[in-house]
Amino acid sequence: MEQNIQKYQNAVDIIKTAILQSQARAAKAVNQEQLALYFGIGRYVSANTRKKNWGNGAIESISRQLRLPKFPLTTKFANCNWQICLISH
């Protein structure tokens, strides 16, 4: 009986490890994709502001238009998020 309990415990440990490793890989992939998104947004916004294609208040206006509920599956793109996007540009 105790041997079966040990086999089950080993199975549980293996499954738990697989789940945790998979979750870690998924989180890493999501973070990489989000970083690429913010970098691309920053590049786009930076290019348009440097070329003076946009006037004063453009970032605030764009930020307002990208807030919930228009994009219910995303976090809102607040002005501070735009500032983060622009840091590297």
Q: Which domain holds residue 53?
A: 2-87
Q: How far apart are CA 20 and CA 15, in angstroms?
A: 9
- pTM greater than 0.85 (yes/no): no
Q: Helix 79-87 vs helix 2-50: angle between axes, to the nearest 10 degrees?
A: 80
pLDDT of residue 56: 81
Burial class (CB in 10 A: 0-12, 13-18, 19+), 78: middle
Q: Per residue in 9-68, pLDDT tens? A: 999 999 999 999 999 999 999 999 989 988 998 899 889 988 888 888 888 888 878 776
Let me know how long the chain is: 89
**Peptide bond preceding 69: is omega within 30 degrees of 0, i.e. cis?**
yes
Number of compact structural domains in the chain: 1
pLDDT of 3 over the 90 cut: no
